[in-house]
Amino acid sequence: MDAFSHLMGGFGVALSPQNLLFVFLGVLIGTVIGMLPGLGPISAISLMIPVAFTMDPVSAIIMLSGVYYGAIFGGSTSSILLNAPGVAGTVATSFDGYPLARKGQAGKALSIAAIASFIGGTVGVIGLMLVAPSLSSLTVSFGPAEYFALMVLGLTAVVSLSGGNVTKGLISGTVGVMIALVGIDSQTSVLRFTFGHEELYEGVEFLIVALGVFALAEVFAMLTRRGQGAQTGAISSLRLNKREVKEISGPTGRGSVLGFFVGVLPGAGATVASFLSYSLEKRLAKDGKTFGKGNIKGVAAPESANNSAAVGSFVPLMTLGVPGSGTTAVLLGALLVLGVQPGPLLMTEQPDMFWGVVASMYIGNVVLLILNLPLIPLFAKVLKTPQALLLPLVVVFCVVGVYGQSFSTFDLWLLIGFGVLGFLMRANDFPAAPLILGVILGGLMEKSMRQALLISSGDLSTFVTKPISAVLLALAAVSLLAPVFGQLRRRRRGRALPQDDGAGQDDPDEQGAKVDANVTRP
Amino acid sequence: MSRSGPRAVRAAVAVGSAAVLLAACGGGGQQDAASGGDWKPTKPIEYVAPAGTGGGWDTLARTTARVLDESNLVDRPLRVVNKPGAGGAIGWSYVAKHQKDPHKLFVTSPPILLVPLAGASGQTYEDFTPIARLNSEPLAYVVKANSPYKTFGDLAKKLKASPKDVSVAGGSGPGSLDHVGLAGAVQAAGADASKVKYVPFDGGGEALTSLLGGHADAAVAGASEVQPLVRSGDLRVLAVSSKERSPILPETPSLTETGVDYAFDIWRGVMAPKDLSESQIAYYEKAYAEMVKQDSWKKASEKLGWTDAFMGSKEFGTFLDEQNKEYSEVLTSVGLKK
């Protein structure tokens, strides 16, 4: 097989002592930076770019790629331990990861995240190796209409992220979309909702919203609880038993495949993949109701998807020279400076480069697993930090993460504002997850819709006459209506069997992912 | 490469600025003797890229800083600092706050004219001192390899006859680079630029993807951006926007050759805060004039698809005035002038 011999050549490149060292360095730095709340792959790569420019191009790219997927790999740590996601792709991981940690199962959650990340990453690399050239046609088949449909499908996850109260979930999601509208409108260059602040011209950075409504709001909530629910739980339960392994194998496998294909689409990437995977698993699972309260499948699904998507995003980068995300745009910039022009000819003109990077990813993923697993008990100990120390630390990390991105004190006020908003939402049982989903998907949805309508000269039928778009919209409709039918059916059954009334709507335990995170334990 | 690069700035910058601060403390007492022709920087120079890392401005800043440092053309090191946001306006307002400060420079290109013209910046190019223009790169008008349009004339004819049937993708917002480069050319070819369906994407990459997938009928992007897809045979270039052919796409006719009297360049250069002294301007002007002669600069330019187009401070200033007038006319014709 041709790909096989190329891959062997690639391993020849990647296994040279020098490149091995750079893979190791790359993933180490990436995973460490990724673990810090507020710092994600972009920060990690940018930090390493000046170093990379002094290196041989192949080694430099091997290292920078390592930094990238290393940061995604490590990104779940702060989501799980502190409810402070540093990257959009790991937001979904915090939905179940953080409740698990609060139940004293941080070790388990981190192990699952590491294993799912490893599998997702590896599946992604296999995909990249086998089908990358043919996948570029999938990449280009997504135009504005198709993206719009994909974003609509993504937003239907609001229903499954709303916990018990769909109305409050929808309100929360709508506010999220509204936040996404702030800034210079990309289609007309008109300023919207900026109130004369230059800082708002490019919109509200996702990270500020996420750190505000998740991490900071959690800090406020803990303060009002006055230390109740402080961590004492055992964190020794690092190992998974057979049943658990079996339980997560399905979500991890599906998440990996789904993640790769979504990752291949520029603009969609790890975030959409992780949300889609999470909400898919929640629907498929028999114990879907316990999602958001610390279900291990809720960690495995998004983690496998986001790592696989991170690798998938190399497909448009390498085969078309098109960056699919902010991170790959930075990576592309670095490649150009190093004299590598990614594009359709990269694989034939510089096979060493392409296959060397692919092979290094296999190695990098193994290294990440080996690096991360032994450190988990150590990380989990973070939770043993007395609250009087932990809470200020979380605040410091949030502030550093936000300020380090923009050097703007305005953004810090925004952070506090969103913290308060998150706290108030939580106090009134509004789930925060739909809000964040709205912020992430809303902007892209609006932009694609308007691009599509511009191209079709305002003809709305463009969304249903294009096959991919039509299928995605149909899926969205099904996923919106399915729970309604399900409820009707249950209600009918409920009438027959009055004792079975826990279904859906009124279950107080289902009031959103975060609210019930503070269940008191013995 | 995405011109509207990601907003995030990185820890690297923090390191850089920390160094600048330290250095500033060290050399704080000294005052610059602005008299005479022998001014020299007395502390490290803060070199602002008004965008995040990885974008066009950042690449320009880092590449020039490296060449200047390596060949010892400037007496103090240049520290690249990213000030992303608002299409450059955040960085510009930062530099504008440091009037007369000879230890600040920033990299620049057409948005310094276009963004203020669109009313989205508190500063205009006149609030800064032009130091030098360094290079330029034309835009390329591209279609898919199997498109019925063979020449720019074909596309212009169609745009004239039925503008509703053709959508043209570009990588920047309306009224910015790609749009102005398209509108000006279309106007010069006799069609109504305000009727052309220009579809803005986030960066040339996305615009080209949309063209490849057949979602848009044509696209306009930087010549170096389209080059790999042209070489692979996926795209066909109808014309480049410069007066002469571009070394990046030597086989493609220029607009002038196709009979359209219009030229548009993505020029790149360096500016400083307002009111620098003659000797300070002369110092930097000379450094950049020497820089473009260095081998390492030539090598980097070749990799990045830049064509040298050096202009000194005065000439660059006049050039900016002319460009500003021209952009202003194009923007008025498409109804985007504020």
Task: For residue A470, name the pLDDT band (cuts at 50, 70, 90).
Answer: very high
Tokens of A5: 């011999």
Residue A511 has pLDDT above 70, yes or no: no
Predicted confidence at residue A256, as pLDDT, reads 95
**Number of alpha carbons in the 13 Å side-chain half-sphere of residue A407:** 21
Task: For residue A236, name the pLDDT band (cuts at 50, 70, 90).
Answer: low
Residue B296 maps to which CATH number?
A: 3.40.190.150
> Rounded mean pLDDT of A349-365?
90
User: Chain B residue closest to A466 (CA)?
Assistant: B215
Q: Kindly calculate the radius of gyration of chain A based on its CA atoms and give it in whole angstroms.
A: 22
- A345 to chain B, any CB pair closer than 8 A? The answer is yes
pLDDT in tens, B217-234: 999 998 888 888 898 899
SS3 assignment, position A461: coil
Bridge partners of B271?
B106, B130
Locate tokens 């965008």: which residue? B51
Measure in Å the smallest separation between the Cα of A139 and chain B Cα atoms: 8
Domain boundaries, chain A: 2-516
Predicted confidence at residue A161, as pLDDT, reads 83
pLDDT in tens, A361-395: 999 999 999 988 888 888 888 778 888 888 898 89
- Is B217 part of a structural domain of the chain? yes
Residue A265 has pLDDT above 90, yes or no: no
| CA distance linking residue A244 with residue A250, whole number of Å | 11
Region for residue A227 given its phi and psi (left: phi exceeds 0; alpha: psi -120 to 50; beta: otherwise): left
- A329 to chain B, any CB pair closer than 8 A? The answer is yes
| CA distance linking residue B119 with residue B86, whole number of Å | 12
- Is B246 part of a structural domain of the chain? no
Tokens of B34: 């602005």
Which residue among B197, B203, B216 places its CB closest to the CB of A329? Answer: B203
Contact A336 B197 (CB under 8 A): no
Looking at the structure, do residues B214 and B156 belong to the same domain, yes or no?
yes
Predicted confidence at residue A233, as pLDDT, reads 52
Predicted confidence at residue A234, as pLDDT, reads 52
Task: For residue B22, name the pLDDT band (cuts at 50, 70, 90).
Answer: very low
CA-based nearest residue to B276, from B129, B136, B168: B129
- Is B24 part of a structural domain of the chain? no
Looking at the structure, do residues B282 and B229 belong to the same domain, yes or no?
no
Residue A335 has pLDDT above 50, yes or no: yes
Which residue among B58, B167, B229 places its CB closest to the CB of A454? Answer: B167
CB A505 within 8 A of CB A487: yes
The last residue of one of the domains, among B240, B255, B273, is: B240
Looking at the structure, do residues B50 and B166 belong to the same domain, yes or no?
no
pLDDT in tens, A299-324: 999 999 999 999 999 988 888 887 77
Looking at the structure, do residues B126 and B147 belong to the same domain, yes or no?
no
Contact B54 A144 (CB under 8 A): no
Which residue among A47, A407, A454 places its CB closest to the CB of B199? Answer: A454
CB A96 within 8 A of CB A298: yes
User: Chain B residue closest to A336 (CA)?
Assistant: B304
Residue A35 has pLDDT above 50, yes or no: yes
Tokens of B250: 């030597």
Chain A residues inside the 8 Å CB shell of B213: 139-143
Task: For residue A227, name the pLDDT band (cuts at 50, 70, 90).
Answer: low
Residue B211 has pLDDT above 50, yes or no: yes
Task: For residue A360, name the pLDDT band (cuts at 50, 70, 90).
Answer: very high
Q: How many A-B residue pairs are in contact by the CB < 8 A criterion?
A: 204
Q: Which residue has the higher pLDDT, A170 or A320?
A: A170
In single-letter form, the type of residue at position A518 comes to N
Predicted confidence at residue B17, as pLDDT, reads 42
- A348 to chain B, any CB pair closer than 8 A? The answer is no
Contact B52 A330 (CB under 8 A): yes
- Is B75 part of a structural domain of the chain? yes
Predicted confidence at residue B24, as pLDDT, reads 40
Tokens of B315: 């000439």
Residue B51 main-chain phi, psi, to 5 deg: -155, 170
Which residue among A39, A187, A326 places its CB closest to the CB of B200? Answer: A187
Contact A143 B213 (CB under 8 A): yes
Measure in Å the smallest separation between the Cα of A311 and chain B Cα atoms: 18
Range among A379-383, A400-404, B190-194 with highest mean pLDDT value: B190-194
Residue A492 has pLDDT above 80, yes or no: no
CB A27 within 8 A of CB A311: no
CB A83 within 8 A of CB A216: no
CB B268 within 8 A of CB B107: yes
pLDDT in tens, A276-303: 899 889 888 888 788 888 899 999 999 9
Looking at the structure, do residues B116 and B182 belong to the same domain, yes or no?
no
pLDDT in tens, B143-152: 999 999 999 9
Measure in Å the smallest separation between the Cα of B19 and chain A Cα atoms: 15
> Rounded mean pLDDT of B71-98?
84
CA-based nearest residue to A261, from A299, A298, A308, A324: A308
**Rounded mean pLDDT of chain A?**
84
What distance lies between CA A363 and its chain's CA centroid? 23
| CA distance linking residue A511 with residue B3, whole number of Å | 43
CA-based nearest residue to A281, from A320, A307, A255: A255
Chain A residues inside the 8 Å CB shell of B9: 46, 404-407
Predicted confidence at residue A514, as pLDDT, reads 38
Looking at the structure, do residues B15 and B112 belong to the same domain, yes or no?
yes
Residue B104 main-chain phi, psi, to 5 deg: -130, 135
Predicted confidence at residue A235, as pLDDT, reads 56
The last residue of one of the domains, among B240, B274, B298, is: B240
- Is B116 part of a structural domain of the chain? yes
Contact A198 B122 (CB under 8 A): yes
The 3 state secondary structure assigned to chain B is: CCCCCCCCCCHHHHHHHHHHHHHHHHCCCCCCCCCCCCCCCCCCEEEEECCCCCCHHHHHHHHHHHHHHHCCCCCCCEEEEECCCHHHHHHHHHHHCCCCCCCEEEEECCHHHHHHHCCCCCCCHHHEEEEEEEEEEEEEEEEECCCCCCCHHHHHHHHHHCHHHCEEEECCCCCCHHHHHHHHHHHHCCCCHHHCEEEECCCHHHHHHHHHCCCCCEEEEEHHHHHHHHHCCCEEEEEECCCCCCCCCCCCCECCCCCCCCCCEEEEEEEEECCCCHHHHHHHHHHHHHHCCCHHHHHHHHHHCCEEEEECHHHHHHHHHHHHHHHHHHHHHCCCCC
User: Chain A residue closest to B176 (CA)?
Assistant: A189
Predicted confidence at residue A240, as pLDDT, reads 79
Measure in Å the smallest separation between the Cα of B167 and chain A Cα atoms: 6
CA dihedral of B237, B242, B243, B247, whole degrees rounded to 10: -70
Residues 6+ apart with CB under 8 A from A496: none
DSSP-assigned letter for residue A191 = E
In this structure, of A37-46, A96-105, A119-128, A444-453, the range with the lowest mean pLDDT score is A37-46
Q: How far is CA B42 from CA B30, B131, B186, in A?
A: 8, 19, 50
Buried-state track A161-188, b at ≥16 Cβ within 10 A, e below 16: bbbbbbebbebbbebbbebbebbbbbbe
Looking at the structure, do residues B273 and B124 belong to the same domain, yes or no?
yes
SS3 assignment, position A184: strand
Contact A330 B53 (CB under 8 A): yes
Task: For residue B317, name the pLDDT band (cuts at 50, 70, 90).
Answer: very high
Contact B54 A329 (CB under 8 A): yes
| CA distance linking residue B25 with residue B20, whole number of Å | 9
Looking at the structure, do residues B15 and B124 belong to the same domain, yes or no?
yes
Bridge partners of B140?
B221, B240
Mutate to test the interface with B, among A33, A140, A414 (most CBs of B within 10 A): A140
In this prediction, the answer to ipTM > 0.95 reads no
Looking at the structure, do residues B77 and B126 belong to the same domain, yes or no?
yes
Contact A202 B300 (CB under 8 A): no
Measure in Å the smallest separation between the Cα of B36 and chain A Cα atoms: 37
The domain total for chain B is 2
> Rounded mean pLDDT of A463-471?
92
Residues 6+ apart with CB under 8 A from A276: A153, A154, A157, A258, A262, A305
The residue range of the domain holding B231 is: 138-240
Residue B2 has pLDDT above 90, yes or no: no
Predicted confidence at residue A512, as pLDDT, reads 37
Measure in Å the smallest separation between the Cα of B164 and chain A Cα atoms: 7
Task: For residue B121, name the pLDDT band (cuts at 50, 70, 90).
Answer: confident
Looking at the structure, do residues B276 and B132 belong to the same domain, yes or no?
yes
Chain B residues inside the 8 Å CB shell of A191: 120
Contact A144 B199 (CB under 8 A): yes
Residue B174 maps to which CATH number?
A: 3.40.190.10
| CA distance linking residue A201 with residue A194, whole number of Å | 6
User: Chain A residue closest to B2 (CA)?
Assistant: A329
- Is B36 part of a structural domain of the chain? no
Mutate to test the interface with A, among B81, B178, B206, B304 (most CBs of A within 10 A): B206
Predicted confidence at residue B252, as pLDDT, reads 92
User: Chain B residue closest to A335 (CA)?
Assistant: B54
Looking at the structure, do residues B123 and B145 belong to the same domain, yes or no?
no
pLDDT in tens, B39-69: 888 888 899 988 776 677 888 898 899 899 8
- Is B230 part of a structural domain of the chain? yes
Contact B11 A39 (CB under 8 A): yes
Locate tokens 């998507």: which residue? A309
Looking at the structure, do residues B15 and B111 belong to the same domain, yes or no?
yes
Bridge partners of B141?
B220, B239
Tokens of B44: 């490290």
Restricting to A residues 235-254, those with a Cβ less than 8 Å away from any Cβ of B are none
Task: For residue A231, name the pLDDT band (cuts at 50, 70, 90).
Answer: low
Mutate to test the interface with B, among A36, A202, A454, A468 (most CBs of B within 10 A): A202
Residue B1 has pLDDT above 60, yes or no: no
SS3 assignment, position A322: coil
Chain A residues inside the 8 Å CB shell of B84: 202, 406
Bridge partners of B82?
B49
Q: Which residue has the higher pLDDT, A112 or A345?
A: A112
Task: For residue B286, name the pLDDT band (cuts at 50, 70, 90).
Answer: very high
Contact A344 B304 (CB under 8 A): no
Residues 6+ apart with CB under 8 A from A477: none
Task: For residue B28, name the pLDDT band (cuts at 50, 70, 90).
Answer: very low
> Rounded mean pLDDT of A261-266?
87
Chain A residues inside the 8 Å CB shell of B214: 140, 143
Chain A residues inside the 8 Å CB shell of B216: 143, 455
**Rounded mean pLDDT of chain B?**
84
| CA distance linking residue B233 with residue A198, whole number of Å | 43
Concatenate the DSSP letters of all residues of A83-102 into one string: S--SSGGGHHHHHHHHHHII
Chain A residues inside the 8 Å CB shell of B11: 33, 39, 43, 46-47, 404
- Is B95 part of a structural domain of the chain? yes
Q: Which residue has the higher pLDDT, B28 or A329?
A: A329
Restricting to A residues 147-176, those with a Cβ less than 8 Å away from any Cβ of B are none
Predicted confidence at residue A496, as pLDDT, reads 58
Bridge partners of B132?
B270
CB A129 within 8 A of CB A358: yes
Task: Please report how the helices A144-155 and A269-284 are oriented relative to each other, as an axis angle in degrees rounded to 10.
Answer: 40
